[in-house]
Amino acid sequence: MNPDELTRRFFLGCGTATAAALSVSTSRAESPELARVLSKLEPYFTPPAEFQDVSRGTPLPHQLSAAKKREVGMHRDTWKLEVVSDPDNPATLGKPLAKKEGTALDFAALLALGKTNAVRFAKVMTCLNIGCPLGMGIWEGVPLRDVLWLTQPKANLRRVFYHGYHNDDPKQLFRSSLPVGRVLEDPDDLPPVILCYKLNGEWLDSERGGPVRIVVPEAYGFKSVKWLTTVTLSNLAHANDTYANGNNDIDSPLKTFAATFQLPTEIRPNAPIPITGYAQVGVSGLSKVQVWIHPLGKPWPEDDPYFAKAPWTDATILGPPQQWGGKLPGNAIPKDVLGFEAGQPKAWPMRLAKAHWAVLLPGLPAGEYVLRCRTIDAKKQVQPMPRPFKKSGRCDIEEVKIIVAA
Ligand SMILES: Nc1nc2c(c(=O)[nH]1)N[C@H]1C(S)=C(S)[C@@H](COP(=O)(O)O)O[C@H]1N2
Ligand SMILES: [Mo]
C-alpha cells in the first residue's frame, strides 16, 4: 500500500470520529512506526487459495483423484443435488428432486436459476472452535429457498437438513441444519442462505467445497456444508447437526471480537508502540476497538474478570481499503454485491465481515507487559459479553505478552 492510501484509510477510521480525534489520528498516521506496520497489513479479502482448511474426512474429499471426483459428483459436469423428504419425519412434497426419479438438480439448472436470482455477499468464514477467521470472501450463489420451492412443499416442513459427499461412509457424514423459516426468509437484513458456487468471482474450488456448498451468512463455518449432495426436508422440530457433538452450541450466530496482528519483535524503551489488528464483526456490529497494556504479573481485582475498570485506549478502525485484495476479477468489487453500491460499502464496518484497526501507544520503560484488546459492539456490549462462553464461538479477550528491552 502506498503511504497516501494508508493515511487515507487511517483517517477515514470510523465515520463517527470527532475533529479532535482526527487530528490525533493524522499525526499518528504520519508516524513512521505506524506506517511501517500498516504497510504489512493483510489484504482485506483472502485469495481463495489462501483460505485455511479445516475439513474432515479420510481421505479428505477435496484430495480425491479427478476421476473419483467426477464419479461421485464433485465436479460441475456430474454434480447432482437431491432435495427429498425425511423418511423418518416426512415433509409433504409435491415434487421431490431425486436421482431415482430423474428430477435431481444439476449444475446447469442451478446456474440457470442463478441467471436471474444469484446473490453475492461478503462474509468472513470462521470456525466456532478456532481463534482466527479462515478467510474473508465474496460468496455467490442461488438462495436455497429457490430450490426448496421447486419441490412444491405443502405442509409438515419444519427443518432443513443438508450434508455433503463423505466417502460413502456413514461415520464421516458431516451434516448441518436450519429451521425452515431461516431458509425461507431473511430476518434483520441478513443475506439469504445460498447454494454457493463462486468465491471472489471464481468457481468455488474443491478445497473450499466446490462445486457447491451451503453458505449461511450469519453462522459459524460448520453450518456451511461443503461438497453438497443432499438436502432433506423434515418435520423434525429440532436440530441434528454433526457439530452438536463436542459440546458445541450450534445455534450461535457470529460474535464480535478483536485480535492483534503480529507485534513488532523488538520494542525499545520509551519508543512509541505501533499495534495493528483485526476485528470480526458479528451480528451485533462493531463500534470500537480498544487496547490496554498492563505490567505482566501485576495483579488485577478478581471481581473484574473482563477488565471493565482498566484504562483502555481507543484504536482507530481503518476505513474501507482502496485495494480489496482477494484476487477479485479486475481487482474490483463485483456488481450487485449486497451491502455495496458502485463498488463501495454502504456502511462501515460491515457486519459478518472483518475490519482492520491500528493504534500507536506511548513508549514504556523496559519490562514485561500484557497487551489486551477488545471490541465494543454497535449495541454497546463489551467483549466478551454478551455471550462469553467458549463453545458458542471464540471471544475471549486476547492477551499477548510484550517485552520492552534496550
Ligand atoms: N462436508 C463438510 N463440510 C464442512 C466441514 C466438513 O468437515 N465437511 N467442516 C465445516 C467446518 S467445521 C468449518 S469451520 C467450515 C470451514 O470452511 P472452509 O474449510 O472452507 O474454510 O466448513 C464446514 N463445512
Ligand atoms: Mo469448524
Taking the centre of ligand 1 as the mean of its atom positions, its distance from the CA of residue 96, in whole angstroms, is 27
Alpha carbons 9 and 287: distance in angstroms, whole number = 17
Residue nearest to atom 13 of ligand 1 (CA): 221
Under a CB-based contact definition with an 8 Å cutoff, are residues 279 and 317 in contact?
yes
Q: Is 165 in the pocket of ligand 1 (CB under 6 A)?
A: no
Query: Which residues does 150 contact at the CB level (< 8 Å), separation at least 6?
Result: 83, 95, 97, 105
Cell of 72: 461421485
Same domain (yes/no): 86, 204: yes
> 406 falls in which pLDDT band (50, 70, 90)?
confident
Under a CB-based contact definition with an 8 Å cutoff, are residues 168 and 315 in contact?
no
Q: What is the CATH number of the domain that holds 10?
A: 2.60.40.650
Q: What is the CATH number of the domain that holds 65?
A: 3.90.420.10
- Cα dihedral 30, 31, 37, 41 in deg (nearest 10): -20
Average pLDDT of the segment spanning 214-227: 98
DSSP 368-379: EEEEEEEEE-TT
| Residue ranges making up the domain that contains 60 | 48-246
Cis bond before residue 384 (omega within 30° of 0): yes
Q: Is 74 in the pocket of ligand 1 (CB under 6 A)?
A: no
Q: Is 176 in the pocket of ligand 1 (CB under 6 A)?
A: no
Write down which residue in 204, 220, 246 finishes a domain.
246
Same domain (yes/no): 395, 372: yes
Same domain (yes/no): 270, 314: yes
Residue nearest to atom 19 of ligand 1 (CA): 53
Same domain (yes/no): 220, 332: no
148: which DSSP letter? Answer: H
Same domain (yes/no): 366, 322: yes
Same domain (yes/no): 27, 53: no
Same domain (yes/no): 153, 174: yes
52-98 pLDDT tens trace: 999 899 999 999 999 999 999 999 999 999 999 999 999 999 999 99
For 109-114, which contacts have Cβ atoms below 8 Å and span 24 or more sequence positions? 110/81, 110/142, 110/147, 110/195, 110/197, 110/212, 111/197, 113/142, 113/146, 113/147, 114/141, 114/142, 114/197
Average pLDDT, the chain: 93
For residue 16, pLDDT beyond 70: no
Q: Which ligand is nearest to the CA of 174?
A: 1
Same domain (yes/no): 263, 235: no
Tell me, what's the pLDDT at 264? 79
Same domain (yes/no): 242, 311: no
Alpha carbons 286 and 366: distance in angstroms, whole number = 34
Tell me, what's the pLDDT at 27? 44
> 30 falls in which pLDDT band (50, 70, 90)?
low
325: which DSSP letter? Answer: B
3-state secondary structure of 136: strand
Write down which residue in 194, 229, 246 finishes a domain.
246
Taking the centre of ligand 1 as the mean of its atom positions, its distance from the CA of residue 54, in whole angstroms, is 6
Same domain (yes/no): 239, 278: no
Same domain (yes/no): 210, 306: no
For residue 7, pLDDT beyond 90: no
For residue 26, pLDDT beyond 90: no
Write down which residue in 246, 274, 304 finishes a domain.
246
Q: What would the 3-class secondary structure string for 75-135 be?
A: CCCCCEEEEEECCCCECEECCCECCCCCCCEEHHHHHHHHHHHCEEEEEEECCCCCCCCCE
> 302 falls in which pLDDT band (50, 70, 90)?
very high
Same domain (yes/no): 236, 95: yes
b or e along 136-167 (b: 16 or more beta carbons within 10 Å of the residue's beta carbon)?
bbbbbbbbbbbbbebbebeeebebbbbbbbbb
262-300 pLDDT tens trace: 887 889 999 999 999 999 999 999 999 999 999 999 999
- The number of distinct structural domains making up the chain is 2
Under a CB-based contact definition with an 8 Å cutoff, are residues 322 and 5 in contact?
yes
> 357 falls in which pLDDT band (50, 70, 90)?
very high
Residue nearest to atom 20 of ligand 1 (CA): 208
Q: Which of 178, 216, 226 to mutate to test the pocket of ligand 1 (most atoms within 8 A of CB)?
A: 226
Ligand 1, closest atom to CA 55?
Answer: 7
